[in-house]
Structure 1
């Protein structure tokens, strides 16, 4: 039989000795189309936040990419996983070690059968190389490498998930600051307007054309408006601190000159095709990589049922005379093969295999849930964007109507046509409408960010 034939036969035998099952992705068919309306089939780009046309947001994203604490930790976990892959891969290669030493010994005269009274001293010098190799006949070590490889891939997907989470967190927090800034501005304008009306009523009270009740009612309105200012400012200052942490800075070091919410562009986000979503969600890819690692762990656990075969070789020199150290008569060598088979372990191997199988089943369900959650996230985000557009339009119309009513009431009050109650009511309505519109605009921006995140940002597998 030729050498090539022997090699082919060896490959067949080794492949037949594999004790693992081939990985099969759990069934998770995507929907044919989105249940809720999507604006086009174009996926977001990797720099999706630039669609808001916000230079300040661009700066914050750049800071977060280089200084975010969670991203730094996720990057370190990738390095750990890569190092662990190197450790696992070492089991597929022989190990080689070298040793050298000198031993000085004195023999016991009392234990000697000779009559000599002189103590015997000996010196032994040695230098050896030792090589060992475990034949991975059952694929145990290869399965461990496969598991480590899948774990390393999962760590990279987790890093991408952390990037997307940090980016969406920066955008959401920044927009919330802009929304609170707008609401604070409206409150201050309303307070200034209420103070002007209060001054008019106070003048009229002194002139006898208004009552103390009129003044008290306006003072109550003014106090209520002032009371709404402190919670908004507190929340905005806390959001500044949160944004500082997201960009890797201490709150004391963070400075920001925000833009206005109304000055930003409102992007039109396409949802792409449902069949492509799973390749664009790093969390789903991470769940599948963990599942592949668990499948490889089963193979490694099963291999423990079978004998472990090791080869060991040693060669070197040993001599009592240093001058004869490197001569042929000082040469030593040994070659050994060892086969170890577990006879009884109290069910340890069986328990390990069952534990790995149960772990695989757990991660299989985790993967299926990740897939279902991915499609659900997109559907919910599409709903949120659609409803946010309608809410903004409704609140804009309500604000315009309330403004006209308030302006008419002010004019009629100046002409003595309506009383103070009408003015106060229209004033409250206008303030509520303005505040609701600011919140609706904020909700729209945050809904768009949520849709970008649900779509996986601009990331996709293989890039």
Structure 2
């Protein structure tokens, strides 16, 4: 008989819950959010072979073969302050998962306390205490102490999966911070590599200026001798002197650039200013390694910023579900068991001092739900923002790769032409100097030829630096470095 009664009660309880859920669900506002668009072209519209071989899958130690550069990056991955700050952010996001997980588990607290109470005699409790039947020779204690100890539990029933969705959202946020850390690693590696190649380029520029100064000093000595022999004028001497002073001034500017670039690297690797170990001797002769861009769809898996935006979108979707669940009733169970007495010697006397309770609550928003509606609409807006951000990140990644492919190709042709220019001007210096020494060319031809040769060699070094930077940026654009 009892089983039938409990079955009947459970059926009625389920029926009531169904009616309540239907009633509240019908009053919940809804808003349609469009799905994200992740379609990418089949290729990068280049002549490069479109297979699945991708340079992003190469580990950075194999991509950058310079041992000095590898040592710098290794140090940065340990000491860089911003990266270490981001690691703490990842740890905090992981702690948030534990906090959200605890929300849908029962809370159990232990409580112990003591109090003293004196109520007025002309109150309901005071009058009742005065009329209490106390044994002869015993008095009702006044003021009345009370001692108690017990355990109390609270558990919110996650019927609408609000708490579970909040925990899943925290997981997505954690994964997002992990990808943010990976993206920071990629940026850090590319920034150090680009600065390292810039430093090597500055070393070569300084060396070119030193070599050019030797040539100009020789030309200056020659024109001084020609002036003494009345074969040149004071104007030629002063013009060549001015050019020497100009290049000496440029030498100090390059030295300052070297110091600033070294300290930029020192800052990135988290150490005090000091000289950066490098070998710049063969920088200009360095060959570019082969690059494999794969297919555009691989960006979705290789780029940390795309995966970060994807996890943030998933978290925003779950947050919307959490905001929607706030419209539904919340069911809470509370229970407690303990001991209570007005005298410590009776505290352990059971069952007289035993206390317990069981409470079931249902709370649901009924009137003036504007705050809940506003939060729900804001959650929808944040989800739509996440959709746009995800699409923007994918488009930006694709454009970056296309731009770098074009840049690498154009720099290749540019460098080849500048090599020819340098070769022609280098030969013209020898020819001009011979003609000048035999008085068949004046100082202006020497001056202009040396100036053009210097500029062409500096441009060649700058183009090589741009090539190496593009080599680094392509690795970053493809999503390499973090793995």
TM-score of the aligned structures, taking structure 1 as reference length = 0.90
The one of 37, 62, 71 aligned to 1:27: 37
In 2, Cα distance between equivalents of 1:52 and 1:301: 48
The one of 207, 228, 240 aligned to 2:262: 240
Structure 1 residues 57-95: Cα deviation after superposition (integer angstroms, max 9, x where no partner): 011000110011111111011011111121111111010
The alignment partner of 2:312 has SS state of: helix
Indicate whether 1:56 and 2:68 are aligned: yes
Computing the radius of gyration from Cα coordinates, the structure with the larger value is 2
Structure 1 residues 150-188: Cα deviation after superposition (integer angstroms, max 9, x where no partner): 111110010001000110010011111111111111112
Shift of residue 289 of structure 1? Answer: 0.8
| Greater mean deviation of Cα atoms: 196-205 or 21-30 | 21-30
| Greater mean deviation of Cα atoms: 79-88 or 44-53 | 44-53
In structure 1, what is the equivalent of residue 46 of structure 2?
36
In 1, Cα distance between equivalents of 2:413 and 2:154: 72
**How does 1:22-421 map onto structure 2 within 5 Å?**
26-38=36-48, 41=51, 42-44=53-55, 45-48=57-60, 50-105=62-117, 120-251=142-273, 254-260=274-280, 261-262=283-284, 264-326=286-348, 327-345=350-368, 347-421=370-444
Shift of residue 231 of structure 1? Answer: 2.5
| 1:399–1:434 CA contact under 8 A, matched in 2 | yes
Gaps in structure 2 of 5+ consecutive residues: 4-9, 132-137
In 1, Cα distance between equivalents of 2:383 and 2:121: 66
Gaps in structure 1 of 5+ consecutive residues: none
| Greater mean deviation of Cα atoms: 120-129 or 133-142 | 120-129
The alignment partner of 2:284 has SS state of: helix
In structure 1, what is the equivalent of residue 7 of structure 2?
none
Shift of residue 49 of structure 1? Answer: 5.2
| 2:69–2:278 CA contact under 8 A, matched in 1 | no
The alignment partner of 2:352 has SS state of: helix
Structure 1 residues 8-54: Cα deviation after superposition (integer angstroms, max 9, x where no partner): xx9xx8xx999999998612211111113436742224533543431
In 1, Cα distance between equivalents of 2:418 and 2:60: 27
In 1, Cα distance between equivalents of 2:144 and 2:407: 88
| 2:148–2:339 CA contact under 8 A, matched in 1 | yes
Shift of residue 278 of structure 1? Answer: 1.1
| 1:38–1:382 CA contact under 8 A, matched in 2 | no
In 1, Cα distance between equivalents of 2:295 and 2:373: 45
Change (3 A) 1:46 1:126: farther
Shift of residue 420 of structure 1? Answer: 2.4
In 1, Cα distance between equivalents of 2:122 and 2:69: 89
Shift of residue 320 of structure 1? Answer: 2.8
In 2, Cα distance between equivalents of 1:105 and 1:305: 42
Change (3 A) 1:170 1:217: same
Shift of residue 147 of structure 1? Answer: 1.4
Shift of residue 364 of structure 1? Answer: 0.7
Shift of residue 223 of structure 1? Answer: 2.5
In 2, Cα distance between equivalents of 1:321 and 1:39: 89
In 2, Cα distance between equivalents of 1:120 and 1:183: 96
Change (3 A) 1:52 1:388: farther
The alignment partner of 2:154 has SS state of: strand
Change (3 A) 1:224 1:283: same
